[in-house]
Chains A and B, each alone.
Chain A
Amino acid sequence: MSSVLYQKVVMSFGALNVLRSLDLAVPDHKFLALLGPSGCGKTTALRILAGLDMPTAGKVFIGERDVTRLQPRDRDIAMVFQSYALYPQMTVAENIGYPLWIRGTPDAGRKAKIGEVAAILEIGHLLDRRPRQLSGGQRQRVALARAIVRDPAAFLMDEPLSNLDARLRLTMRGEIKRLCQRLSATTIYVTHDQVEALTMADFVAVMHGGELQQMAPPIEIYDRPANRFVATFVGNPPMNILPAALSEQGVIVAGKVVPLDDARLAACRAASIAEIGLRPEDCSAAAVDTPDALPGEIYVVEPMGNETLVNVRLEGGNVSVRAGREFRGVVGESIGVAFDPANACFFSSAGLTAVHRVNNNGRVT
């Protein structure tokens, strides 16, 4: 296992900059999720690490080794593809054993190793089948088995779960996480699904428009987003953003003055903040005349079973509120949205987070 390092990696196709100077370091034995919307450059970054694409500029290191210009086979990596990329003409056993076979591992050792990884992934009974005789989930397991059959310096996974149905995705998510912890392997995992990124990774690197937005542990990504993009991309439903202005006593949001403590107010002033960000779970539904609650009108009510998502139209925009399952509001009704200002964060007009929430991890309730 090895660490992975991107150094000022640029990738452009003509005038199109897919990656603009990516700097990223993945510590040894850690699971990094590259998260971003489609077209953000995350897959390109992975392909550059795999050696399938050559960067326009910059360097890539695996461990101490500069692998920028090495062939994929000389990089000592294993990759799982979105479409699994199994070899259609080979049996499952041949598929799994291929990386060993190509390296000249003797038959006996190879067979033993195939049996071992097949047992880990519970596909021992499928070894004589061909890929087309397998279900999606089984193919996924074979692809994983082929990746872990060697002991590579790093595992690369390119949206490995996105071709599975929702239920199976949930199961495999847990299995891959377990597998990676068990192997204690350096893993780069590309996904556009923030839930996958948050649940599986030790570190999440959020990318957008070919640039790294933030790299941090999942909790920090969620609680202390570096900018407006990260704040709204991570979290479901996304963070509520409302325009905010400063007054003498506090911040004016949706026509109401929200009091802030002196230190935060000063910080807001210094950064001349433009917007306030509030997680839906930090808001609560309240009576419309509650003091300090923002007055609004119910726009949509979505009962989820365990909770109810309420979309409220306020002056300046709509906000989502996570209400209890017993919430019984009716569309069009007047309602108040209450929140603790300590849980709010504030963005500058450039979209950067100027003032974070008070508590890093613990929530103020």
Chain B
Amino acid sequence: MQNGMQARKYRLQGAGLDLALPYLMLAPGLTVVLGVLVYPLWDGLRASTRAYRYGSPVADVGFHNYVQLWSDAQFLNSLWVTVKFVALSVSIEAVLGFALALFCLREFRGIRLLRTVLIIPMVITPVVVAILFRLIYASDAGMLTALSVAMGGGGVQILGNPLNAFIGLVVLDVWEWTPLMFLILLAGLQSLPHEPFEAARVDGAGSWRVFADLTFPMMRPVLAIAIVLRTIDAFGTFDQVFVLTRGGPGEATRLISIYGYDTAFKFQQTGYAAALFVTIGLVVLALAFSAIRLLRRIDAS
């Protein structure tokens, strides 16, 4: 028995295969990340410093593309449209989502069904949502026109009118993404402790004061994260606009993503489009960082 134990060969820890194992395990994932994330990013950065012209060789132009952006009226306009769109949509979604989440926190008959129904818009394919809204907005046979005619009015111009088209786009985004806000905020509300709220009721606070003094301050971190998430996401809105208006009428709904798409694939200015998207990426990154830093400051004070 003892001899048998001694004869057995032990594999020591921290040697040979043991050392290589973590790297072996990491290798496949690392390869994929390098291939589909790091390389394209690097390639995009390189493309943004080049000029691709049909019939002439690829030229290195340094930061020329980046500089040119800021004197491009179309770029500046699309940036402005995007900022308006993001600010308006995200703030409406935040308010609506918070209100809905507060409402759905109560327990009553049918609440589970209601919560589920409220999520539906978010899980529909964005292109499908856009097609649905096109059917609603269409000036000839759309639902809004039909309603208006039924009530004795005339045809309704949504997608043909610059202001209406922009509002229509915001409405679509609010319809589709309020559920995400709602979901995040509801989860946040449900994770808050009960007792402080009961204490506040005993201490004399009414519903409004409970909201202003407890719910809102306690929800601030969750709200901020939801807004940051939605803002980053909204900056990249593309498919809905592409289906609904293609950026029109004129430039009324031409978000930065549509302008970038046009630049790259309609006008074949690949280098310029790359510079545009790198710039936007940096802007969004800066926004997110400052939002998170602001949040930390509020928390620490």
Chain A interface residues (CB < 8 Å from chain B): 50-52, 71-73, 75, 77-79, 81-90, 98-99, 102-103, 146, 156
Bound-complex Cα distance A99 to B198 (A): 13
Q: Is B152 an interface residue (CB 8 A)?
A: no
Question: Considering the chains assembled together, what is the distance between the CA atoms of A254 and B36 in angstroms?
Answer: 84
Check A102 against B193 for contact (C-beta < 8 Å).
no
User: Nearest chain B CB to A147's CB is how many angstroms away?
Assistant: 9
A102 to chain B, nearest CB (A): 4
B286 CB → nearest A CB, Å = 28
**Cβ–Cβ contact B195 & A83, under 8 A:** yes
Query: B201 — which chain A residues lie within 8 A by C-beta?
Result: 51-52, 71-73
Contacts of B195 in A (CB 8 A): 81-85
Q: How far is the CB of B92 from chain A (nearest CB, A)?
A: 26
Q: Is the CB of B218 within 8 A of A78?
A: no
Contact B200 A52 (CB under 8 A): no
28 contacts between A and B (CB under 8 A): A50-B202, A52-B202, A73-B201, A73-B202, A73-B203, A73-B205, A78-B202, A78-B203, A79-B199, A79-B202, A81-B195, A82-B195, A83-B195, A84-B195, A85-B193, A86-B199, A87-B199, A87-B213, A89-B214, A89-B217, A90-B213, A98-B203, A98-B205, A98-B213, A99-B203, A102-B209, A103-B204, A156-B202
The answer to whether B218 touches A88, judged by C-beta atoms less than 8 angstroms apart, is yes
Q: Which residues of B contact A83 (CB under 8 A)?
A: 193, 195
Encoded as 1 (CB less than 8 Å from any A CB) or 0, chain B from 181 to 214 comes to 0000000000001011011111111100100011
**Cβ proximity bits B218-261 to A, threshold 8 Å, 1 near / 0 not:** 10000000000000000000000000000000000000000000
Name the one of A72, A84, A87, A90 contacting B202, with C-beta atoms under 8 angstroms.
A72
A77, A98, A103: the one within 8 Å of B200 (CB)? A98
Q: Which residue of A lies closest to B206 (CB)?
A: A73
Secondary structure of the A contact surface, majority rule = loop
CB distance from A52 to the nearest CB of B (A): 5
Count of inter-chain pairs, beta carbons less than 8 A: 63
The B interface, classified by DSSP as helix, strand, loop or mixed, is: helix
Q: Are A85 and B218 in contact (CB under 8 A)?
A: no
Report how many residues on chain B are interfacial, defined by Cβ distance under 8 Å: 17
A86: chain B residues at CB < 8 Å are 196, 199
In the assembly, what is the distance between CA of A82 and CA of B218, in Å? Answer: 20
List, in ascending order, chain B residues with CB within 8 A of A85's CB: 193, 195-196, 198-199
12 new A-B contacts, CB < 8 A, other than A73-B204, A78-B203, are A51-B202, A52-B198, A71-B201, A72-B201, A73-B201, A78-B202, A84-B195, A85-B193, A88-B196, A89-B214, A103-B204, A146-B199
Nearest chain B residue, comparing its CB with the CB of A78: B202
> Across the interface, which residues of A come within 8 angstroms of B193, CB to CB?
83, 85
- Cα A86 to Cα B206 with chains together (Å): 17
**Closest chain B residue to A82, Cβ basis:** B195
Cα distance, A146 to B200, chains bound together (Å): 11
* Residues of A close to B202: CB separation below 8 A: 50-52, 72-73, 75, 77-79, 156
Q: Within 8 Å CB of A102, what residues of B?
A: 203-205, 209
Which residues of the partner chain A approach B217 to less than 8 Å between Cβ atoms? 89
Min CB distance A341 to B, Å, is 50
How far apart are the CA atoms of A89 and B214 in the complex, in Å? 8
Least Cβ distance of A79 to chain B in Å? 5
> Smallest CB–CB gap between A30 and chain B, Å?
21
Q: How far is the CB of A91 from chain B (nearest CB, A)?
A: 10
Closest to A98 in B: B203
Contacts of A50 in B (CB 8 A): 198, 202
